[in-house]
């Protein structure tokens, strides 16, 4: 059994590797992405063998496979997957046509992080099972039929794929996310709003409708169509946008202020963070179930 400190170190190492690989799904040919993966693998060769278990699509070389039964020798990640899949099945939140047992039979485990990242092509939005978005970024030489098949496959297994027409730093999701984070940081830094109230602006305001419709459809519905919205509000939007400040440094006094505010709500020790993530995932499961009932697919 690992200590909390050892587990935290493992999680930090895994996070560093995921960050090096990139934060979005890249399931198609991508020389730049392959170069990044090779850099990570090269870095891994200089690391001591980590005491970390990772789940990956089953390969013949994987030393451990789950086969529909609970084995105490399975790595922690596999046992965690079994627990989560059971919970998803009980709540009616499983994706795709396979049962929980069938999905578990396709999961393997390995204790070598180098093997876990080798050939990795899918790094999804976190947490990946509960947030279905997948950004498809084809290489210029990728056949359109390959993109179509990948898109169809993602939909078949319950994901929500989007086509990124050309590669851009950060892709779509991160660029939108960073724009929100940047202005949120500036509002706190300039003393306009507290960190806690800033999060409420999103969770009890924008986030309520963005869980069902995006910003462009919101504009369309908030007037008599998109052109009407632009006629009414474009000048006001441009006036406000001109007041946006420079890119924040995300450090110093503001970082400490935000950190302290977040720790009041969720202490940053592993136990409290894990409990809050579990609560978040349960909320996302319930939201996904609600969306499946009220929103046509």
Say if residue 113 is in the same domain as residue 220. Answer: no
Identify whether residues 186 and 246 lie together within a single domain: yes
124 and 93 assigned to the same domain: yes
Based on the fold, state whether residues 66 and 30 are members of the same structural domain. yes
Chain-centre distance for alpha carbon 2: 26
Per-residue pLDDT of the chain (297 residues; tens, 9 = 90+): 445 555 555 556 555 544 544 444 444 444 444 554 455 445 444 443 333 333 333 333 333 222 233 343 445 446 777 777 788 888 777 777 788 888 877 776 666 666 665 544 444 677 877 889 999 988 888 899 999 999 999 898 888 999 999 889 999 999 999 999 999 999 999 999 999 999 999 999 999 999 999 999 999 999 999 999 999 999 999 999 999 999 999 999 999 999 999 999 999 999 999 999 999 999 999 998 898 888 665
Count CB neighbours of 147 within 10 A: 18
State the pTM of this model: 0.66
Tokens of 202: 């999103």
What is the domain range of residue 226? 173-262
* Neighbour-count burial for 160-169, b at 16+ CB within 10 Å, e otherwise: ebeebeeeee
Distance CA 284, CA 125 (A): 13
Residue 200 maps to a domain: yes
In a domain, 143, yes or no: no
**C-alpha–C-alpha distance, residues 244 and 162, integer Å:** 29
Q: How many domains does the chain have?
A: 3
Report if residue 25 sits inside a domain. Answer: yes
Give a yes or no: residue 152 inside a domain. no
| Domain match, 254 and 287 both | no
Residue ranges in 157-225 assigned as alpha helix (H): 173-189, 195-201, 207-210, 215-221
CATH number of the domain to which 245 belongs: 1.10.1040.10
Choose the final residue of a domain: 131, 155, 184. 131
């Amino acid at each position: 059994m690992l200590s909390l400190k050892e587990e935290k170190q493992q999680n930090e190492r895994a996070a560093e590797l995921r960050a090096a690989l990139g934060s979005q799904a890249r399931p198609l040919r991508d020389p730049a992405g392959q170069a990044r993966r090779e850099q990570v693998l090269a870095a891994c060769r200089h690391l001591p063998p980590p005491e970390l278990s990772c789940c990956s699509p089953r390969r013949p070389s994987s030393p451990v496979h789950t086969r529909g039964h609970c084995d105490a020798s399975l790595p922690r990640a596999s046992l965690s997957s079994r627990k989560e899949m059971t919970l998803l099945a009980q709540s009616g939140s499983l994706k795709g046509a396979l049962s929980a047992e069938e999905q578990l039979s396709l999961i393997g485990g390995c204790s070598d992080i180098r093997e876990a990242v080798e050939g990795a092509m899918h790094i999804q939005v976190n947490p990946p099972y509960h947030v279905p978005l997948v950004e498809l970024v084809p290489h210029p030489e990728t056949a359109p039929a390959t993109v179509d098949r990948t898109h169809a496959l993602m939909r078949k297994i319950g994901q929500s794929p989007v086509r990124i027409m050309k590669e851009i730093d950060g892709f779509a999701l991160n660029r939108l996310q960073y724009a929100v984070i940047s202005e949120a940081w500036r509002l706190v830094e300039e003393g306009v709003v507290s960190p806690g109230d800033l999060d409420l602006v999103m969770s009890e305001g924008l986030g309520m409708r963005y869980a069902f419709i995006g910003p462009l459809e919101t504009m369309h519905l908030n007037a008599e169509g998109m052109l009407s919205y632009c006629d009414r509000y474009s000048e006001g939007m441009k006036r406000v946008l001109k007041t946006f400040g420079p890119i924040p440094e995300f450090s110093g006094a503001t970082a400490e202020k935000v950190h302290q505010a977040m720790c009041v709500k969720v202490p940053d020790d592993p136990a409290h963070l894990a409990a809050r993530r579990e609560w978040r995932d349960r909320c996302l499961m319930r939201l996904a179930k609600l969306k499946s009932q009220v929103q046509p697919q």
